[in-house]
């Protein structure tokens, strides 16, 4: 069950990842999307936010033209 929640958070974060011009904005938007996904899935908000930050930062660093 826990792995499916984390997988859903990563997928949701990736879908919302193309946000933010600076690293701080990317972290903020990723945290918001991850926490929102965790709230919807009754997961840990802190874990969701952490996964969101990581997902958004990695996506934006790997795809600079899409952010």
Q: Give the separation between CA 60 and CA 23, rounded to whole angstroms.
A: 9
Does 64 reside within a domain?
yes
Give the model confidence (pLDDT) of 8-50 as tens digits.
777 666 666 556 788 998 898 889 888 888 888 888 999 999 9
- Whether pTM > 0.75 for this model: the answer is no
Residue 23 neighbours by CB distance under 10 Å = 12
Does 55 reside within a domain?
yes
Model confidence band, residue 63 (pLDDT cutoffs 50, 70, 90): confident
* Total of domains in the chain: 1
Does 2 reside within a domain?
no
Q: Give the separation between CA 3 and CA 66, rounded to whole angstroms.
A: 28
Does 27 reside within a domain?
no
Does 11 reside within a domain?
no
């Amino acid at each position: 069950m826990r792995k499916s929640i984390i997988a859903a958070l990563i997928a949701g974060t990736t879908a919302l990842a193309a946000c933010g011009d600076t690293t701080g904005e990317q972290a903020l938007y990723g945290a918001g999307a991850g926490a929102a996904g965790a709230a919807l899935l009754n997961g840990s908000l802190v874990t969701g936010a952490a996964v969101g930050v990581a997902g958004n930062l990695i996506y934006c660093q790997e795809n600079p033209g899409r952010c």
